[in-house]
């Protein structure tokens, strides 16, 4: 599999705990202290109940493939990475997150995956996944 390009994120003030944790190989998710919902993508206002009382907890890093695409045409920095896998992974904690599967294009919906972390060089990492 070709190496995927790594783009540093824009770190919003509200998502900084998420990004800081990725540098240590951890996925921190925000959870609403008032209604208990797990929030994705990371932010500190609850889209279910409007609360701003949000705390962070560590996710397991395990999940299953909700859907995946094998992208064979793209330009720019992605050209050299073709074909690559774009996927939604459903984390054990619930959220379906957009990501890449890095180790194979031979996949199925429902397959188990675990997180890997791609260092951006800016004090954080991108959360990608590999099959288990």
Partner 1 sequence: MSINGKAFIAGAYEHPDREIKGKSLARIHAEVAYGALQDAGLSVDDVDGYFCAGDAPGFGGISMAEYLGFSKLRHIDSTETGGSSYVVAVGHAAEAIAAGKCSVAVITLAGAPRAAGMRVLGGGGGRGRGWGDTPEVSFEGPFGPNVLGFYALAARRHMYEFGTTSEQLAWIRVAASKHASHNPHALLRDVVTVEDVLHSPMVADPLHRLDSCVITDGGGAVIVVSPEVARDLERKSVKILGHGEGVKHTNNGHIDLTYTAAVISGKQAFEEAGVTPSDIDYASIYDSFTITVLIQIEDLGFCEKGKGGAFVSDGALESPNGVLPFNTDGGGLCNNHPNNRGGMTKVIEAVRQLRGEANAPVQVPDCQIALAHGTGGTIGARHGSGTVILGQPDA
Give the footprint of partner 1 on this chain (CB under 8 A): 4-12, 15, 37-43, 47-48, 66-78, 81, 84, 86-88, 94-100, 105, 109-110, 120, 126, 128
Secondary structure class of 19 (helix, strand, coil): helix
Measured from the CB of residue 91, what is the shortest distance to partner 1 in angstroms?
8
How many CB atoms neighbour CB 77 within 10 A? Answer: 11
Nearer Cβ to partner 1, position 24 or 69?
Answer: 69
> Rounded distance, CA 30 to CA 12, Å?
14
Helices (H) and strands (E) in the chain, counts: 1, 7
Secondary structure class of 41 (helix, strand, coil): coil
Which element (helix H / strand E) includes 68? strand 62-71
Measured from the CB of residue 128, what is the shortest distance to partner 1 in angstroms?
8
Measured from the CB of residue 2, what is the shortest distance to partner 1 in angstroms?
12
Measured from the CB of residue 23, what is the shortest distance to partner 1 in angstroms?
15
């Amino acid at each position: 599999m070709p190496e995927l390009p790594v783009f540093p994120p824009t770190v919003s003030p509200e998502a900084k705990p998420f990004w800081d944790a990725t540098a240590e190989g951890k996925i921190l998710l925000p959870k609403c202290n008032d209604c208990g919902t797990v929030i994705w993508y990371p932010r500190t206002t609850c889209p279910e109940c409007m609360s701003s009382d949000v705390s962070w907890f560590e996710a397991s890093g395990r999940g299953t493939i909700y859907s995946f695409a094998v992208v064979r045409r793209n330009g720019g920095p992605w050209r050299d990475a073709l074909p690559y896998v774009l996927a939604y992974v459903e984390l054990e904690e619930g959220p379906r997150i957009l990501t890449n599967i890095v180790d194979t294009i031979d996949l199925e919906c429902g397959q188990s995956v675990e997180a890997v972390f791609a260092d951006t060089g800016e004090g954080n990492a991108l959360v990608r996944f590999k099959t288990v």
